[in-house]
Amino acid sequence: MTKTKIICTLGPTTGDEAVIGRLIDAGADVFRINMSHARPDWAEDVVAKVRRQARRADANIAVLFDLTGPSIRTGDLEEPFVIAEGDTVEFRKQGAEPGVPYSTTVNYDGLMDDVSIGDTLVVDNGTLLMRIDVVRDDRVVCTVTTPGTLGSRRHINLPGVRLRLPALTDKDRGDIALAVRCGADFIAGSFVRDAPHVTELRSAVEAAGGRAGIVAKIEDQEAVRHLDAIIAAADAVMVARGDLGIEVEFEELPLLQRRIVRRCHELCRPVIVATQLLESMIRNPTPTRAEVTDVMNAAYEEADALMLSGETSVGLHPLRCVETLTRVCSRIERSGGLGYGQQVQLRDERARTARAAVTLADSLPGCRIVVFTRRGTLARQLAMLRPRTASFYAFTPCGDCCRQLALLRGVRAFQLEFPRSIEETVKLGAGLLRGRGLVSPGDPMVIVSDISTGEFAANSILLHHA
């Protein structure tokens, strides 16, 4: 196992149950369902496969539903437009008549109210760049600044422009209901722009009867401006480098990634680094040296998880991609990390207890950390401090919580019903670890607990030997 967790996006390449099982065996911790592409019936079927294979492997594997979000897309075209530098392209409201040969609709009627002359319009993740020259009530007219091909339903970005899109679309609300029916462990909100958007998503999940953790995807400049409030409102944060890399100058992206990771550490929130980690491996069996370095940097920053997208959803070598992440992360973890865990803000007694436990464990050679927690809060606080110990085990009686802990760096979770006394609970947990060969008699264990004994809630640290 690596400390850094691995998220695999499922798709046509990996929808088979046997392949899902091999991905789990290779080191996958979380499976992502991308609702921008997944059909509801396919999503339900593949989640059932994940659950069966997780039981087979006796592993706590989480499922993440990634919502489409309020994206702006071009309309359908009979044939793609092959356009040259200097050509004119217009984007018009539904029902408006074309005014130039290269004309397509957009799915957001508010576009004309949000943009201004001179704004840059980016199509298809940076494939095409255009300058807005004319803004009318029913269309915008652009001049192409880089040549390329414009196809149907291509994504549009407007760097630096404040868009008044809704936090959730009707499709998102339907997908939330689907995710809740499937028992999703996490639901990710796309194009989150401020904390109220996170709150709206959480309320929609709760209204549908779900208990999934909320992942906020940082994808544009407005989200960066509200970063701290978004981190505080969410259960986890994703550095979504695809759209974010279009929204900011490309030389700023690595610095911005590091800033987001650091703030997530400081504010005690898990953080995911995503997009194009091993992009070349969609077709090739080995990564580029630049990709290896990129993965190494994310692991060195001690991100909780790294996410594969096209590499495992449509790529030719999904297992090799997981194995590659495992090899690179394992190597960099042996050499140490950036140390942002030392900057976690200790806001309460429980957080200070966690710091004391990590300091003790790090001072004892070969020590394990064992945490008993009902809701996972203490386990998260311990994980965010980035203990140096190679073994960190969490016990909780809640199956949902157990799977959500799969996202935390370095944590291996087990479901365990707690007896009435802390002493019995510790004995039962230590026995389980010995039975699985995870500890040997005499191994030191720092045991941390915030569980209740009768009417008494104990924040405790115990040095125990297996």
Q: Summarize pLDDT for 372-411 with one digit per residue, the tens.
A: 998 899 999 999 999 998 789 999 999 999 999 999 999 9
**268-274-278 Cα angle (round to 5):** 140
Rg (Cα) of the chain, in Å, rounded?
24
| CATH code for the structural domain at 5-70+167-333 | 3.20.20.60
Q: Give residue 350's pLDDT.
A: 83
pTM: 0.93
Strand 456-457 with 411-415, pairing: unpaired
Helix segments in 318-445, DSSP class H: 318-334, 349-362, 377-384, 399-404, 422-435
d(CA 363, CA 307): 32
d(CA 174, CA 186): 16
- Which superfamily does CATH assign the domain made up of 346-465 to? Pyruvate kinase, C-terminal domain (3.40.1380.20)
Q: Give residue 460's pLDDT.
A: 80
The b-or-e profile of 169-205 (16+ CB within 10 A means b, else e) is beebeebbbbbbebbbbbbbbbbbbbbebbeebbebb
- Residue 452 CA: distances (Å) to CA of 6, 327, 404, 418, 421: 33, 40, 21, 10, 8
Q: Give residue 461's pLDDT.
A: 86
Q: Which amino acid is it at 448?
A: V
Q: What is the distance in angstroms between the CA of the first residue and the CA of the last residue of the chain?
A: 21
List, for residues 447-465, the tens digit of each pLDDT value.
998 776 554 455 688 888 8
Q: Is the Cβ–Cβ distance between 269 and 236 less than 8 Å? A: yes
- Residue 165 CA: distances (Å) to CA of 52, 135, 188, 191, 466: 39, 18, 17, 9, 56
Residue-level length of the chain: 466
Count each helix (H run) and each strand (E run) in the chain, helices first: 16, 24
DSSP character for 98? P
- Residue 267 CA: distances (Å) to CA of 179, 187, 227, 252, 342: 28, 20, 11, 22, 12
385: buried, middle or exposed (CB in 10 Å: 19+, 13-18, 0-12)? buried
Q: Which amino acid is it at 266?
A: E
Q: How crowded is the C-beta side of 88, counted as CA atoms within 13 Å?
A: 10
Residue 297 phi, psi (nearest 5) = -60, -45
Count of beta carbons in the 10 Å neighbourhood of residue 62: 27
CATH number of this structure's domain 72-157, picked from the four choices 2.40.33.10, 2.60.40.1080, 1.10.3720.10, 2.60.40.2140: 2.40.33.10
For the chain, domain boundaries: 5-70+167-333, 72-157, 346-465
Q: Is the Cβ–Cβ distance between 408 and 385 less than 8 Å? A: no
Sequential pLDDT tens for the chain (466 residues): 799 999 999 999 999 999 999 999 999 999 999 999 999 999 999 999 999 999 999 999 999 999 999 989 999 999 999 999 999 999 999 999 999 999 999 999 999 999 999 999 999 888 899 999 999 999 999 999 999 999 998 999 999 898 999 999 999 999 999 999 999 999 999 999 999 999 999 999 999 999 999 999 999 999 999 999 999 999 999 999 999 999 899 999 999 999 999 999 999 999 999 999 999 999 999 999 999 999 999 999 999 999 999 999 999 999 999 999 999 999 999 998 999 988 999 888 888 889 999 999 999 998 999 999 988 999 999 999 999 987 899 999 999 999 999 999 999 999 999 887 778 888 899 999 999 999 988 899 999 987 765 544 556 888 888 7
